[in-house]
Amino acid sequence: MAAFEIRDLHKIYGRDVHANDGLDFAIEAGEVFGILGPNGAGKSTLVQQMVGLSVPTSGEIRLHGERVRAHDRRVRQAVGYLAQRPLALFDLRVREAVVATGRLRGLGRSAAEREAKELLDEIGLLDRQDRLVGNLSGGEHRLVGIATALVGSPPILILDEPTNELDPVARRRVWDMLMRRREAGTTIILVTHNVLEAERVVGRVAIMARGRISAIGTPGDLKERLNAKVRLEIALREDGPDVGEWLAGARQIGERRFSLTLDRPRLGEALQHLAGPAVSAQIDDLRIVSPSLEDVYLAYHDTEGHSDAH
């Protein structure tokens, strides 16, 4: 049975702001599901309805087959939710924040204490367990939020931008933690615009743009749909003459580094041009890259959710 089913979901603010516009998909129990999309795509609105903090204008959300209502007790028991900032915990010490959340999820005092210690060790905050949450950095707030979402081992996790503001070491630690939960059977719903990181852990992904789903499937499926395209990454020599005209339409991805997406049939023609003596002398590095999830994301995020993208 699906953990969550979203059926023809509409959320309209005011008269005509369609934050969610006819969403229709399911998230299976035990899968890691990514919801990707740019700011304003409607991801957080969707998630707030899933956890009962907001109600749909029309359509429905079902948890394990039963309709989710506002402040639904079943959702609160089943879901560990990571919101944007743990403001409610700012006056508590780090360990207290995790223990208190665990106790509110029904753990006994000693079980909550034990689990808090394990989680803080796993997430790398054990040495800061006695500091006030409000005195921590933005990234550490995030880690405390993740620990509170995980304490009590809820069977479903909904994590809104879990790795925002984290340094690379902490990011890796968090993804490793989530992968261990995945192996233990936890359903994980990740809301993020960090596509490269999400690709490591998600089983399926929905790409949202302007309140709609532009594409949904496994990263492999979605990349397959883009297989008609190929991407060239070109690094130019510092002292080389300008080749801007040839690179018209390319995306600059670094200093004198460009990315150019082409239809596959045009690849031969492009390589022939690049191999010419005048141009090749200006090229420092050239790579032919298969589409990544980021390419899928970029390709879909401007499609305004046309249904033919599914």
Instruction: Assess 17 for contact with another protein (CB under 8 A).
Output: no
Instruction: Assess 120 for contact with another protein (CB under 8 A).
Output: no
Instruction: Assess 10 for contact with another protein (CB under 8 A).
Output: no
DSSP codes, 89-104: GTTSBHHHHHHHHHHH
- Which CB, 91 or 263, lies closer to another protein? 91
Window 131-170: residues binding another protein (CB under 8 A): 132, 134, 151-155
Of the ranges 51-59, 166-174, 270-278, 302-310, which one interacts with another protein (CB under 8 A)? 51-59
Q: How far is the CB of 216 from another protein (least distance, A)?
A: 25
Among 106, 138, 240, 244, binds another protein (CB under 8 A): 106
- The total number of residues shown for the chain amounts to 310
Rg, the chain, Cα only? 23
- Which CB, 83 or 262, lies closer to another protein? 83
Distances from the Cα of 109 to the Cα of 96, 98, 112, angstroms: 11, 11, 5
Q: Of 55, 78, 58, whose CA–CA distance to 1 is shortest?
A: 78
Distances from the Cα of 178 to the Cα of 55, 76, 141, 174, angstroms: 28, 20, 17, 6
Among 51, 195, 236, 309, binds another protein (CB under 8 A): 51
Q: How far is the CB of 95 from another protein (least distance, A)?
A: 12
Instruction: Assess 116 for contact with another protein (CB under 8 A).
Output: no
Tell me the two tokens of residue 10.
């509409």
Q: How far is the CB of 66 from another protein (least distance, A)?
A: 15
- Which CB, 133 or 232, lies closer to another protein? 133
d(CA 124, CA 171) in angstroms, rounded, equals 11
Cβ within 8 Å of residue 71, ≥6 positions away: 52, 53
Window 163-182: residues binding another protein (CB under 8 A): 180-181
CB 133 within 8 A of CB 92: yes
Among 29, 78, 270, 274, binds another protein (CB under 8 A): 78
DSSP codes, 18-54: EEEEEEEEEEETT-EEEEE--TTSSHHHHHHHHTTSS
Instruction: Assess 118 for contact with another protein (CB under 8 A).
Output: yes
**Site for another protein, rule CB under 8 A:** 13, 51-55, 70-71, 73, 75-79, 81, 83-89, 91-92, 96, 100-107, 111, 115, 118, 122, 132, 134, 151-155, 180-181, 184-185
